[in-house]
Structure 1
């Protein structure tokens, strides 16, 4: 390859020319960090308050100086390469050093978290448990901005664009370090009205004769939430990608819902059926990039979520 373009990110060339550090603009790394945080060039432009062509130009300039590919076109648009991710993680220390210098100049103690943290989480757990934890954390750190993205489907954790990820089960990714945050219970629920009209199942086999409310299987892609595994022979008749829709459909008498106990228990009209036979225990895990574990904001988010979970353990895993 000639010297006019960056090398491929998978190049194994052993002899690379040395880089003149005077040609490297530290501010260019800020643009790479923005792409890593937001996931796309256009989102990075909005985040930085510039035009997306400026982001492209600055990234291209950085690629040319470093002689590597930092971003590439993937199935979901432009993504960071492996080298791009590694560089972006190291570039975060530049932002942190700049912020520390600003804090010192302003006489701040440095104990206040700043910047933006992005967390992804399942709909129900993210809204009912993670949200209050993050809201209280932000109140303690007024200069911190929080972004919470929720969806109960397989997240593409290989992409950049998040600081902390919560998921059902354990995400498999060598770049992430994960830990179990909490076990939680799922059971089957129905309203009194539904039971009066359609009867109450007396066994797991009997459940299969009732319409089940659950996820859209083809869009879920989360193995731990497999309906056949938990209710053999049953089939979902009302399906949604949103767990809150499951709760509302069950409350409306649309069938028997397989619901997390912490989401069903606040509604007295929902009666748990066959609690001894159907007591599904799954887990929520928290994941972050290995390089981010020492980041004060990531540590604070982790601690806040663990604290909230500990306070509400009996809701997540109630006795049956």
Structure 2
């Protein structure tokens, strides 16, 4: 239901969020109305807790900031106690708000499951398939005969890409289908391997002209490298680079594979990259062959309940019948 999963750290409150809420603690007689509050208002409480401000919560929910204020005021009125307070650094939950947060999250998860079940009930070959995959693949998929042929065979279905710098949660309905590299670790998902993910070491032509070419992996320690940062610090490529060239100079870091690609193209250093995207760049040279330790499989995944629907089943069946079309997109 939400694009962001990071929870804002909550501490003891210092004061009420809204002027109208200042007297809520003294109006405990209204607590009998708790069973009458609108469950939908929990979305606003969760968004403020996660984002730390009503403005950020409004952006996530796609509403006006005033709507967030109004719905929280109404929720507090129904509950009879203050749930959120305002601080100089943002918004925080009161002690009661913190206590209710796990239950609110469970309600959110159950509503998401209910929505997924309702969506899965339809069996017509019409509608949208929300597909998540690494950003570098989008342009390759859009321009491929694989996707063009799918739309030709199933004109009532539309592929809509859902992009994120993290793995989206299919179980919460953030996407219907995922194209991912690496062995799946979510037992609730079903699917199969459809291709191999291959990585090699690349440098730009300009870098090689000024610094020479490494002849073997051991030579990387003598070269300037482009490192992985942010959410990629634990990526297998980052760990491999640290292991084979622990003393190398890191000339630049980036928190996305595309960012690392552009840094290597600029000539600042060398880095391992997926052959899928790096081989397409005329300015890049594969200076070392594919690295076995970085090889993984490409998997097509979805939830078990969605796999049984005609909409998703048609996409999976088409893909399995046309692996000769999808593999060039994934492997270069």
TM category (shorter chain) comes to 0.5 to 0.7
Asked if the contact 1:120–1:149 (Cα under 8 Å) also holds between the matched residues in 2, the reply is: yes
1:189 to 170, 195, 202: 202
1:209-248 equivalences under 5 Å are 209-216=222-229, 218-220=230-232, 223-228=235-240, 232-234=244-246, 236-248=250-262
What is the Cα deviation at residue 295 of structure 1? 1.2
Counterpart CA distance in 2 for 1:122 and 1:222 is 16
Equivalent residue number for residue 250 of structure 1: 264
Measured on the aligned residues, the alpha-carbon RMSD in Å equals 4.2
Q: Distance in 2 between matches of 1:121 and 1:278?
A: 23
Q: 1:232 to 1:160 in 2, by over 3 A?
A: same
Displacement after TM superposition at 1:163 (Å): 0.6
Where does residue 296 of structure 1 map in the other structure? Answer: 310
Q: Please report how far the alpha carbon of residue 5 of structure 1 lies from its aligned counterpart in structure 2 after TM superposition.
A: 3.8
What residue number does 1:168 align with?
A: 181
Give 1:104's aligned residue.
none
Corresponding residue SS for 2:198: strand
How many pairs are equivalent?
A: 249
- More helix by percentage: 2
Using the TM superposition, name which of 264-273 and 230-239 deviates more: 230-239
Deviation, 1:222, is: 5.8
Normalising to structure 1: TM-score of the pair?
0.61
Structure 1 residues not aligned, in runs of 5+: 7-39, 47-51, 57-71, 101-112
Following superposition, the deviation at residue 171 of structure 1 comes to: 3.5
Structure 1 position 288, deviation (Å):
0.8
**Deviations 1:14-54 (CA, angstroms, capped at 9, x unpaired):** xxxxxxxxxxxxxxxxxxxxxxxxxx9998989xxxxx99x
Q: Which runs of 5+ in 2 are unaligned?
A: 1-31, 37-56, 72-99
Match of 1:284 in 2: 298
> Shift of residue 79 of structure 1?
7.4
Residues 175-213 of structure 1, C-alpha deviations (whole Å, 9 max, x = no match):
222422211211011123211211111222221222223
Change beyond 3 A, Cα 1:214–1:150: farther
- 1:268 match: secondary structure: coil
Kept after mapping to 2: 8 A contact 1:183/1:283 = yes
Per-residue deviation, 1:289: 0.8
